Amino acid sequence: MSPSELLTLIIGIALTVMVFSYILGDRLFFGIATHLLIGVSAGFLALVVIQKIILPYLIMPLTYETGTGFFLALVPLALSILLVLMLFRRGTQVGSIPLAFLGGALAALAIIGVTRGTLAPQILSTVGRFAPEQLMHETEPQWSAILEALTILLGVIAVLFVFHHQGQSKAGDVVKPVFLEGIGSIGQIFIGITFGALFVGLFSSALIALINSLSEIIDFITLWF
């Protein structure tokens, strides 16, 4: 093992132990580890933004003496200056202009992205289960496929009813009609099933990470003793 490899191993073990000290109720070493993570990540992120975005897309076009590239680069330059002014107390108001530009453009992208990327595929996939070629085999109906398609359709509708909050108001309380409550409860069951499956996936990954970290500590100890 080379000295640099040994050093990275020792740093890794020390940082892992510092994070796990949280279990023992320690806040100082855990705080140092998390602030170190934030500092290094922020520094790395700033570097990537400067070297991969600001320099090639903003600064380089400004070095062109003529041409449309130079003039087109003036707009983001002006917006960037307004953003930087946000760091000063008096500049917070002008900073809302580039943020509004970003918000408006992102909203437009979200409209296209959500309709094409989420809503259309999900709705088509739900309705597509009712295509005759999926429900019939030659002339015989496929009852399992019909049941599955119905379950999926009703399940999706029931989940959407969970978010239905409109109702009659009695003494300030929002009361849902009974049938909506019933459909909403079925929807909650489907959401619970989804969250349960997601929980298990995330829990398994976290458990693997825990085992990996602990085994690294054990390997390090056995290396020396």
Partner 1 sequence: MKRPLPLIVGVLSGLVVLAAMFFVPQGGSILATVLNWMIIVAGVALLVAIASLVLTHLRFIANGKKGFLLSLVLVISFLATLVFGLLRGVDDPVFLKWVGAVIRPIETALLGLVALVMMSAALKIFRERGWSALTVSFGVSAIIFLILGLGFLQNLNFPALNGVITFVEGLPMIGARGLLIGIGIGLLMMAFRVLFGMEGSGND
Q: Which of residues 152-191 bind partner 1 (CB under 8 A)?
A: 152, 155-160, 162-163, 185-191
Instruction: Give the H or E element holding residue 169.
Output: strand 168-170
Binding range to partner 1, per CB under 8 A, among 104-112, 129-137, 169-177: 104-112
Give Cα separations from 93 to 23, 103, 147 (angstroms). Answer: 44, 15, 58
**Residue 163 Cβ, how far from partner 1 at the closest point, in Å?**
5
204 binds partner 1 (CB under 8 A): yes
Q: Does 118 bind partner 1 (CB under 8 A)?
A: yes
Binding status of residue 134 toward partner 1 by CB under 8 A: no
Read off the tokens for 132: 């005759």
Q: Distances from the Cα of 56 to the Cαs of 50, 62, 87, 88, 155, in angstroms? A: 9, 10, 24, 27, 49
> For residues 51 and 167, which CB has a smaller minimum distance to partner 1 in the complex?
51
Nearer Cβ to partner 1, position 22 or 130? 22
Residue 43, token pair as written in the block: 């520094």
Question: What are the φ/ψ torsions at residue 48 (nearest 5 degrees)?
Answer: -60, -45
Q: Does 52 bind partner 1 (CB under 8 A)?
A: yes
Stretch that binds partner 1, among 128-136, 167-175, 208-216 (CB under 8 A): 208-216
Residue 223 makes contact with partner 1 by CB under 8 A: no
Is 47 near partner 1 (CB under 8 A)? yes
Number of residues binding to partner 1, judged by CB under 8 A: 112
The helix (H) or strand (E) run that includes residue 174 is: strand 173-175
Kindly report the number of other CB atoms within 10 A of residue 76's CB atom. 17
Per CB under 8 A, the list member of 16, 135, 145, 146 interacting with partner 1 is: 16
